[in-house]
Amino acid sequence: MITLAFSVSVFAQNKMLSSKQLMTGSLYPRSTMRGVQFVGNTNQIAYIQDTVLYMGQPGKAKSCLTLSQLNKVLQSAGIDALSYMPSIKAINGKEISFNAAGKVLQYNFAKRTLTTIADYPTENVAHSDMDEHSHRTAYTVNNNLYIYDKGSVFSIESADQDIVYGQSVHRNEFGIEKGTFWSPKGNLLAFYRMDQSMVTDYPLVNTTARIAREQPFKYPMAGMKSHEVTVGIYNTANNSVLYLDTRRDESVAERENYLTNISWDPTEEYLYIAKINREQNHMWLERYDVADGAFDTVLFEEQNSRYVEPCDPMMFIPGSPDQFLWFSLRDGYKHLYLYNTDGELIKQVTKGNYEVEGIIGFDAKAENLFIYANKDNPTGRAAYRVNLATLEMTHITPTEGTHYVVVSADGTMVIDSYSAVNVPGRCNVSKYKGTKLVSEKNLYDLSNPLVDYAMPQINMGSIKAADGVTDLYYRLITPPNMEAGKKYPTLVYVYGGPHSQLVTDSWLGGGNLYFLFLAQQGYVVFTLDNRGTDNRGFEFESCTHRQLGTIEMADQMEGVKFLQSLPYVDKERMGVEGWSFGGFMTITMKLAHPEIFKVGCAGGPVIDWKWYEVMYGERYMDTPQENPEGYAGNSLLNKAKDLQGRLLVIHGAEDNTVVWQNSIEFIDACIKAGKQVDYFIYPHHEHNVRGYDRLHLYEKMFDYYETFLR
């Protein structure tokens, strides 16, 4: 059964988008107000509007600093003037801090004075990480790690270019985004050390030189040797470094464990690490003594026959150094569990057929926890308050939309910024009156920047998956002013892989100007989140284990059946497009159903999962040695012989995510099978075509559809 959940259309003018406008930000909702925040521990707010900083009670905030005033103070301190008002932190009602010219500066409104709180290196620096308490800064230059402290620098260096310090490891899987972790008081720094010497060099070629140069990088492919990681601790008191005893022995299995979700004990005595075996079916939450690096204990373990994938570090309850929250999918959905540091489960904090998508914070006494969840809207993200004693859960934002929330220090006020399918953007300040949260002040409503354009209609709804039971959500964009009885060419835009949700209750349904442009040009554009995508529970995402592409395609074809039931969809003119996992899905669907898809356009496609990296590839497919049938059955090399119609394959020649080898070998398979295929390379781009060249990509794909799908 089809349920149309949302619909947005704007009765507008007949203005049309040009392809060049796809690269401008002027047609995306924007506000002149930014940086909305609470002032220190108060319930006053601060924000920047244009070039003026305002502070005060919601609805009564007053101008307290202009850019010209700030620049006068900066120049008197010998610092160059700024062309824009910098992002600020409102320390209290009298002072703010901000960054400029490689310094952390503090401005006092009453005294009109500028104080340098800290400085930090900027030249040739990467991965800069400043501790907010001590203002010590960790940063990297090339593969070496440096710690800067009031003019003094301590270095952790290696002559071996294959040893990497202080950077993200395990190819950014398991929620890893950085490689340095300051302790709560800034006295200690935990950091990653990654040894890649045993990983095969993968060749990339820089063709800009007179003689093209090889630029190899480390790329551990599924089933091959992975890199080895350890965790170091730098002590600022004596400039010493030690390494945690994360290995029980020197076996390959121990050396290849994944070390993730690093968390500091509030006392700075212990470091916690979620350790995962290479098979990714077993996790140990371990504690280490940072005084000597010794292993202390395993708090608890998690196992799953498919995979475990912790992506969120433990979070200690403020004021309770022996209790923490832990995310787990053990009951089938991502929920929060309260533990003590003896590893004993105190209680499950959230429960139900929905996902907790993040922690916002606590109130002043840590009696209430604020979280994001999709409890009442599977395609949205709302904020909730959870009482840690009673577990009562209260919805504190509107049901519609995808919300970003800031909670005041005492937990009584909320700044809520959100958009929805038919809401370009809105920001409200709300306040508790008794147990009810009521709107206090609307700070802004973003105007629709497309109001003067012929606006396509955006419908959101659901269909059943191929199992006949599971709901799948879709976004359907149709041309403006459709003619009765006319049939339109239709494009299925697909991704379909893990950690993705394309259909969201946000502005334009999560779509973009490219889709609107296509619809204005007379195309129907359809997107479906199949099983295997995110935020719908463990079974929903993991049912594709060991057979990537099979269930996903079955669900996408249910979407196609729905499209074919619509009177305005031309069954003879259907195309499919996607990038990365979506490129893999595009070719998978095109080869399996040439009778349906006249045209396909696949960017950066995975062709055979044996060419993808260890962490992601082995989680979802196991190794090629363990799952030869799964790898062979979903390899597109074996299916090139089935190609019919038009297929455009696009790849970045310096792609270090889905290596170029994938599409090259597919082209070779097509040649050997006697199949014609169209191919286009973006010479100096990695996995995505960025910058102004993206306009070329949009025009390339549109021209392809106009030529072969129109």
Separation between Cα atoms, residue 502 and residue 507, nearest integer Å: 12
Ordered DSSP codes for 618-674: HHHH--TTT-HHHHHHT-SGGGGGG--SEEEEEEETT-TTTTTHHHHHHHHHHHHTT
Strands 258-264 and 240-243: unpaired
Cβ-Cβ contacts under 8 Å for 583 (sequence gap 6 or more): 602, 603, 604, 605, 606, 649, 658
Three-state secondary structure of 186-251 = CCEEEEEEEECCCCCEECCEECCCCCCEECCEECCECCCCCCEEEEEEEECCCCEEEECCCCCCCC
Q: In terms of Cα–Cα distance, which of 385, 380, 329 is closest to 359?
A: 385
Among residues 183, 580, 635, 663, the one annotated as catalytic is 580
Given CA atoms 72, 78, 83, 89 in this order, what sign does their dihedral have? Answer: negative
Given CA atoms 234, 235, 241, 242 in this order, what sign does their dihedral have? Answer: negative
Separation between Cα atoms, residue 705 and residue 440, nearest integer Å: 50
Among residues 131, 417, 655, 663, the one annotated as catalytic is 655
Q: In terms of Cα–Cα distance, which of 587, 537, 596, 588 is closest to 562?
A: 596
Separation between Cα atoms, residue 387 and residue 545, nearest integer Å: 36
How many other CB atoms are there within 10 angstroms of residue 63's CB atom? 12
Angle at which helices 550-564 and 581-592 cross, to 10°: 70
Residue 423 in tokens: 């809401």
- Which DSSP state fits 610? G
Among residues 127, 395, 687, 696, the one annotated as catalytic is 687
Residue 372 in tokens: 């994001």
Separation between Cα atoms, residue 458 and residue 480, nearest integer Å: 10
Strands 569-579 and 599-603: parallel
Residue 546 in tokens: 């060991």
Q: Name the residue type at position 651.
A: H
Separation between Cα atoms, residue 146 and residue 160, nearest integer Å: 16
Whether residue 643 contacts residue 591, with contact meaning beta carbons closer than 8 Å, is answered with: yes
Separation between Cα atoms, residue 27 and residue 49, nearest integer Å: 20
Chain mean position to CA 18: 29
Q: Is 672 exposed, middle or buried (0-12, 13-18, 19+ CB in 10 A)?
A: exposed
- Whether 655 sits among the annotated catalytic residues: the reply is yes
Residue 270 in tokens: 């212990």
Which region holds residue 478: left if phi is over 0, alpha if psi is between -120 and 50, else beta? Answer: beta
Separation between Cα atoms, residue 491 and residue 573, nearest integer Å: 9
Q: Decide: helix, strand or coil at residue 611.
A: helix
- Which DSSP state fits 87? P
Whether residue 497 contacts residue 46, with contact meaning beta carbons closer than 8 Å, is answered with: no
Q: Percent helix, strand, coil in the chain (nearest 5)?
A: 15, 40, 45
Active site residues: 580, 655, 687
